[in-house]
Structure 1
């Protein structure tokens, strides 16, 4: 089924999808091709709607999560729509393929008080540093976590951040997100101060010629795995704080904005979500917390 390779190129160069998304869709298509071959179908033009439904049903029997099945149905719809336009198939057997509905779990989030404790802990680490390199590392960690929480950045966006993306005059970060889409997000004053302090000591760690704002212990651009370790370790020091990674700080930022009265569209723009439906998960978080407060406090709850 040689169309698979051409479709991968389409996802990369025309759709401009992120590498991990392309890998996921390629794996979905490989699974379909393998399953179809076992059932005597060796060409994409021979695939029909009934076979696709049987494939999804078999995935369910194999214990696939609903989210996985939904993504595979999406991959099939995308592929066959593309294959029909390129002449690989005469029809689109996936046009009416329905994905199973997914149950969206409410993401755990950081309470406001725990967020305050987190930054107090990080500031104390800077104050207690005993040598210049340790101080620089502590200042870097504070700046990274301030920016993640203040701006709601994805970890990849943080790791690729360069000084020319910081607009000090307007208190903005100009971010390059998924699919190379650009957006601007406000920077809070504490995050600005932490960034400025970090840039003042950055030369103690950064290797020559490294453009990225945040660097690792050896001076190169910081690795996302290091950022995750830093965030997990910092939160582990805060009593009752959930075990979150960088994306959890993004969740916390969105939740706290909505709790504070920000409108959904503004939060969508700050997070860089393509769809408002993605942002709406955070309204469920805030509504659930309101219901919990009502159940605990109201005499007739």
Structure 2
């Protein structure tokens, strides 16, 4: 079987059986397409360990990030393990393929004061009644107030909202559903958008009166993740003096929860992390912030 044909079947397996997110499936399929183009073998059974190592070495020489190379290693190992179990190859050539150690960089976290000031400015703009401003305010308040992923936010339907309990029901990675609470500020921004912003945006799309998406684009259809990223980058970027997207608000929400006394397990459940180890990076962020404050404030630091 040709590598590309097997890779297509593997992508289907990742999507339909393992229920990985579309973004992860696309990334793995792209990695395998690159492998097919550079491994020097068209047939799946002709790929050996040395060709896989050569493929990763080329990526290193090209300047790819360690995280990218680690993902490519994971894509190759998962792919060949699946092919071996399916009987497509006699032996798995990736068993001794080792990924480089990933340097762990701390995510950008905005201060609570900076976010409060920014969100207050958005609330003032939204108060003028512009439907896009009302939506943008709701987007940022919900991202920061819940810590959900941008794909989870954009996937919200009206039935997923519980205004009385102030919760949203989201579908996370691996099709795992969870219910996440949000506070009064997010509730007010959301209510204002639903009453004064969403109907105006929905009216711009005559062919979809039954649209159930909570967040709408300027033409009345569901707001996409890319558009939501642009909203956050445009709003938060100048304050951060860098290009930052929705994940910065997720990082900030998690860190501020820990700073405020929330336990790690609760934060894990709110964020929808499968592993507690993923959540633990935020303890490092909090420690770094504590150390930085100490160095600035203590006379004998």
TM-score normalised by structure 2 residue count: 0.89
Q: 1:228 to 1:54 in 2, by over 3 A?
A: closer
Cα pair 2:138 2:189 within 8 Å, conserved: yes
Q: Which moved more, 1:250-259 or 1:191-200?
A: 191-200
What SS does the aligned partner of 1:205 have? helix
Q: 1:242 to 1:85 in 2, by over 3 A?
A: same
CA distance in 2, matches of 1:42, 1:122: 54
CA distance in 1, matches of 2:236, 2:42: 51
* Runs of 4+ with >6 A deviation: none
User: How far did residue 5 of structure 1 move?
Assistant: 2.4
Equivalent of 2:141, from 146, 164, 167?
146
CA distance in 2, matches of 1:77, 1:230: 37
CA distance in 1, matches of 2:97, 2:276: 23
User: 2:109 — aligned with what?
Assistant: 109
User: 2:206 — aligned with what?
Assistant: none
User: How far did residue 197 of structure 1 move?
Assistant: 2.0
User: 1:3 — aligned with what?
Assistant: 6
Cα pair 1:154 1:250 within 8 Å, conserved: yes
TM-score normalised by structure 1 residue count: 0.89
Listed one character per residue, the Cα deviations across residues 174-212 of structure 1 (whole Å, up to 9, x for unaligned) are: 101223221111111111122122211132221322211
Listed one character per residue, the Cα deviations across residues 93-142 of structure 1 (whole Å, up to 9, x for unaligned) are: 21232110111221111101101101210121133x2xx5x2x3322222
Q: 1:241 to 1:259 in 2, by over 3 A?
A: farther
Q: Which moved more, 1:82-91 or 1:275-284?
A: 275-284
Aligned residues: 292
Cα pair 1:149 1:249 within 8 Å, conserved: yes
Q: 1:242 to 1:264 in 2, by over 3 A?
A: farther
Q: Which runs of 5+ in 2 are unaligned?
A: 204-208
Q: Which runs of 5+ in 1 are unaligned?
A: none
What SS does the aligned partner of 1:185 have? strand
What SS does the aligned partner of 1:116 have? helix
User: How far did residue 237 of structure 1 move?
Assistant: 6.6
User: 1:205 — aligned with what?
Assistant: 201
User: How far did residue 154 of structure 1 move?
Assistant: 1.6
